[in-house]
Amino acid sequence: MWVDVFSSHSDATEAENNHIDAQIRLMLGRYAGQIDKVEVYLLTDENQLDDIQQVHCTIRVGLRGYQQVEVNEVADKASDAINACAHRAKRYVKRALRLSG
C-alpha cells in the first residue's frame, strides 16, 4: 500500500508526514492487499475575519479492480481532521469491498 501526503503548507515536517502515514496504515492495514494507493490532502483554510484556522482533510483510496473511495473531513486541528477522515475512509473501504464481493 503506497501512501502519498500532500499539504498546502510547505513547512510540514517529516515527523508529521510519518504520523499521517502511520495513522493511515493503522486504519487501512487490514485491506492493504486490496489497496493500490492512498492519497492524503491537507488544506489549511484561514479565515481572516475571525482568525479561525480550519484544516480540510481529503483521503482518496484506490482499490484494486474497484472504484476509488474519497472522504473529506474538516476540523480545527490537523490531527483531528486526519483521525476522523481515516476512520471514515476505513468504513467506506470496508463497505465498498463488502458490497462488491
Give the pLDDT of residue 84.
95
Give the pLDDT of residue 57.
94
For position 12, which CATH number holds?
Answer: 3.30.160.100
Distance between alpha carbon 12 and the CA centroid of its chain, in Å? 15
Per-residue pLDDT of 69-101, as tens digits, reads 999 999 988 889 999 999 999 999 999 888 776
Per-residue pLDDT of 35-67, as tens digits, reads 999 999 999 876 655 667 788 999 999 998 888
For the chain, the domain total comes to 1
Angle at 37 between CA 34 and CA 38, to 5 degrees: 110
What 91-96 contacts at long range (C-beta under 8 Å, 24+ apart), as own/partner pairs, is: 92/61, 93/28, 93/31, 93/35, 93/61, 93/63, 93/69, 94/31, 96/63, 96/66, 96/67, 96/69
